[in-house]
Amino acid sequence: MFLARVEGSVVATKKEATMSGRKLLLLRPQLVDEKDPTKFRPGMNTIVAVDTVGSGIGELVLFCQGSSARLAAGLKDAPVDAVIIGIVDCVDVLGKQIYSART
C-alpha cells in the first residue's frame, strides 16, 4: 500500500466494458521526506487509480497497485493496476503526527 494525494479526475467516455461507471482519479504519491521526516514530499510520477471509497480532490488516500488492486471488491475481472482503498485520517511518523485530515 502507498500514500497519495488526489490531484484530479480522469474522464474516459470510451473504455473497456468492465470499467463502465468507475470513477478514475489522478494521484500523486506522497513520500516521507528523508531530510525532514515531519513532512511529506511529492513523488515524481502520477497514477490513475479506480476509486472504491468515494475520495475526492485534495484528500490523502491509501492505494495499492498490481495484482493486489484486483482484489478490491468488484474488480476481479477489471483491467486495473491501481485502486484507492482508503481515505487517510492521520499519519504519525517517529511519534509525531505529520498529517491530519481534520486540520
State how far the Cα of 76 lies from the Cα of 19, in Å rounded to an integer.
11
Average pLDDT, the chain: 93
pLDDT of residue 71 exceeding 90, the answer is no
Residue 99 Cα distances to 3, 30, 78, 96, angstroms = 11, 11, 32, 9
SS3 53: coil
User: Of 53-57, 68-72, 88-92, where does mean pLDDT reach its minimum?
Assistant: 68-72
Please give the grid coordinates belonging to residue 95.
Answer: 511519534
Q: Which domains does the chain have, with CATH numbers?
A: 2-100 (2.40.50.220)
Share above pLDDT 90 across residues of the chain, in percent, rounded to a whole number:
73
pLDDT of residue 7 exceeding 80, the answer is yes
Mean pLDDT of 5-33: 94
One-letter identity of residue 69: A
Mean pLDDT of 54-60: 97
Please give the grid coordinates belonging to residue 28.
Answer: 500523486
